[in-house]
Structure 1
């Protein structure tokens, strides 16, 4: 009997120690988020850039802006399932976001993981920086590198053809641990960066011209 209770105790301790996944999108509303859309400053009644439709979180694409988590995070694995609802276009997940409107009076200081059709997994440096292997091949001439307006901020991903055909759901996983960021698209490792100049911050979804549906945005803390 004593052995039985010991096993039960170990089981419950294990449950408490296991990292709990946080459903950033809870399937119902945007209670974990707030939006920053510059056009709202001039017209508070302009249409919403982010809505809930048929149980999905939808970035309408315009007016352009960002949906940001209310909380900041570090050392986590982020899983996002998304698809372009109509025409292919641009969107992104921003990690380690902080200062709002730090670039082009629009983008928060962050590192973007690109979701643009046929470019999913690119890094874009937004007043933060990150390194990868073969930097000049993937970012261009070193003298053009930078993290502000007019600089070479894009770091190309490692693969082609990792995305599903238009209309199908893609699964993107972003692992942020210390100063390293790894990205998988549909199971393929598409980027692996290190030396990130930020290691924690908010998470943001973009409205950047194209309508995109999200059915999962889950975060699991890492030890």
Structure 2
């Protein structure tokens, strides 16, 4: 028999705070200012993943017609998938005098880039549009760059493929998230009671944790908020080498994750070293441009600035 306990909100918040404190320890005495050292030189030419004219090379996928059912155990309907014209969801349009990928955000899903990528430096620019949509109205605009994408379309909540996420969300851009119950990552954290659950922030030299979706370590907040004000373009750099990745927002390193892996049916951990990328649609109008990828053989180092 399963017993479900319903706790008041204050009790739930205290429970999650105590849990995070047990995982990460007491809050650090000072925040960290991070910088990058030993930037890698590309070992080949940069490739544009957006040609400036079309969505060639990108495959759309849509979740449920009503995004509010996405996280339900039984949504009561099937995801849209590729079953309708998506030109009103994803398109190439002009903004600020140049073409960009426009993502409406009303129906959740993603654009999946078809190339299988490994050992690379990905750079893109994004900015928020003017609109947010239910059920996210009143919340910070939310989107994401998902990498090492693999598996079946719609395998995660009928809407995304298993992957690791470079979060794009106002106030949390660069957060690391494991997308899918069989995806794992490791990083180092500090307890930050100012955050909503799970109250964990990336910290160089912090306590090592294993990130597991559906547990108290399912995501880790960016080291700092390096995003520019809404309406301005932001530059994201993602450095990936084997089963390691570094997230950089407007030149500021904000996350360093390693031991990326999938969990096989027999429970063994298998390194996750390559895959596609997804540009999410998750409730907020978003623009993307200048998406390039170049091969690398080393990673930069994330350092605590003097």
After superposition, the Cα gap between the structure-2 partners of 1:143 and 1:195, relative to the gap in structure 1 and judged at 3 Å, is closer
SS in 2 for 1:44: coil
Distance 1:119 1:218, change over 3 A: same
Question: For the Cα contact (< 8 Å) 1:47–1:63, is it kept in 2?
Answer: no
| Matching residue of 1:29 | 54
How far residue 86 of structure 1 moved from its aligned partner, in angstroms, is: 1.4
Deviation at 1:62, TM superposition (A): 2.0
CA distance in 1, matches of 2:277, 2:86: 24
Alpha-carbon RMSD: 2.7
* Larger mean Cα displacement after TM superposition, 39-48 or 117-126: 39-48
Aligned counterpart in structure 2 of residue 177 of structure 1, from 241, 261, 264: 241
What's the CA shift for 1:146? 2.4
Deviation at residue 42 of structure 1 after TM alignment? 8.9
* Segments of 4+ moved more than 6 angstroms: none
Partner of 1:106: 159
Hey, which of these two has a bigger chunk of helix by percent? 1
Contact 2:43 2:294 in 1 (8 A): no
Which residue of 1 is the match for residue 212 of structure 2?
Answer: 146
How does the TM-score come out when normalised to structure 1?
0.83
- Structure with higher strand content: 2
Q: Quick check: 1:119 aligned with 2:119?
A: no
Q: Distance in 1 between matches of 2:223 and 2:258?
A: 15
1:176 and 1:45 map into 2 onto residues whose CA distance is 33
Counterparts of 1:42 and 1:57, CA distance in 2:
18
CA shift digits 1:125-162 (9 cap, x unpaired): 012111111276627xx999622x576421111113x1
Partner of 1:218: 292
TM-score (norm 2): 0.61
* Contact 2:141–2:170 (CA under 8 A) maintained in structure 1: yes
- Say if 2:61 and 2:81, in contact at 8 Å, map to a contact too: no
Q: Distance in 1 between matches of 2:114 and 2:231?
A: 30
The question of 1:94 aligning with 2:120 is answered no
